[in-house]
Homo-oligomer: A and B are copies of this chain.
Amino acid sequence: MIPAPFLLYLGHSDDEVGIKTSRGLAIFRPQDCVGEWRHDDSPLTLGLPRMNAAEARAAGAQTLVLGIANAGGRLGEALIEDALAAIATGMNVVSGLHQRLRDEPRLVRAAAEMGVALFDVRDPPAHLPVGTGKRRAGNRLLTVGTDCSVGKMYATLLLQQALRARGVNADFRATGQTGILIAGAGVPLDAVVADFISGAIETLSPARDDDGWDLIEGQGSLFHPSFAGVSTGLLHGAQPRALLLCHDPSRAHMRGLPHYQLPDLTTCLEENLRVARLTSPDVRAVGVALNTAKLDDAEARQLCAATADRLGLPCTDPYRFGADPIADWMLQCFEPSKPPMTVSR
């Protein structure tokens, strides 16, 4: 486990999307974040107290979170200098970048001298098994999307909150670097070797024999030509009883691919159900989560209502309006206390 509390790094970043890991921690683990570390040239803020490494350490921070992404996922010189400064104060360092902290000798040496730890959350677990598709017990929901980065992690975490508020044992299962930092555990699916995608998810979300739910963070999209293989293996490994479809209505085309349009919601949902049925024949959709950040309140409510009507499923922006409609509907669909009806003859 990565020791909290955290100092969240923004560095020199001027890209809102690039700081999504730091932002995710600020939103979903606010009690564990003592401050944000940004340099004068960064216009961004997470709304936390601004402090450098020494100030954060004095305020109790145990770990510097390098929660930023840059082109190529590399550790730049500025990043290394700041990580060294944090280590010098006695802080651990965690990174989700492609380039590993442990491959930078200066960091390894400094961490050893100070007796602190370096965490690379993009390292997949060793000895992952090949998936088997064997039916396993337990309630599992998977978030699926029309595209990458449409809010699957947010929807999954917010559904966890809504279910827990209803007394349900709901456990978020992380598959990406930000989710892993929030949950403290998980599998970085984009770094797993191809033959082990579904096996990794079977390991992440083993059989459970209570009435609770594993809520599995989705990745990519069946309609994204770069990553649909990952999404397919994730669907098969998850063996979901329930799918939650996530969508960003402001997206003009598939992320990074101007030559690909987004699928419509019905097509997307049908295709996800079709693929999921291979390992979970009775899978069903339980809702739609929209990311309405670019709409005003009235537009957002209207779009949710229209989408719910069209698909016959509860639809909400879970970040803006909460995940309650989906949580309620899902529990009603899978209510555990009622035995299946039998017909007497």
Contacts and interface: CB of A to CB of B under 8 A. Distances in A.
Interface of A: 130-135, 189-195, 197-199, 222-223, 225-234, 236-237, 257, 259-260, 271, 274-275, 278-279
Contact of A229 (B190, B191, B194, B260): B194
Contact of A233 (B192, B194, B278): B194
A191 to B, nearest CB: 6
Contact of A132 (B135, B225, B236, B274): B225
Contacts of A223: 278
Given A132-B257, A133-B226, A190 B198 contact: no
Given A223-B278, A225-B236, A231-B232, 8 more contacts: A131-B225, A133-B226, A190-B195, A199-B226, A222-B232, A228-B232, A228-B233, A229-B233
Contact of A259 (B134, B230, B232, B275): B134
Oligomer copy total? 2
A326 to B, nearest CB: 27
A198 B256 CA distance: 15
A69 to B, nearest CB: 14
A225 B194 contact: no
A203 to B, nearest CB: 13
Interface centre among A135, A198, A199, A222 (most CB of B within 10 A): A198
A192 B229 CA distance: 12
A195 B133 contact: no
A221 to B, nearest CB: 10
A190 B193 contact: yes
Nearest to A134: B259
Contacts of A226: 130-133, 195, 198-199
Nearest to A192: B194
A130 to B, nearest CB: 5
Contacts of A133: 225-226, 257, 259-260
Contacts of A234: 229
A225 B198 contact: yes
A17 to B, nearest CB: 16
Contacts of A259: 133-135
Given A225-B236, A229-B232, A229-B236, A193 B195 contact: no
Nearest to A234: B229
Contacts of A232: 222, 228-229, 231-233
The 7 closest A-B pairs by CB, nearest first: A229-B233, A133-B225, A232-B232, A190-B195, A197-B229, A229-B229, A229-B232
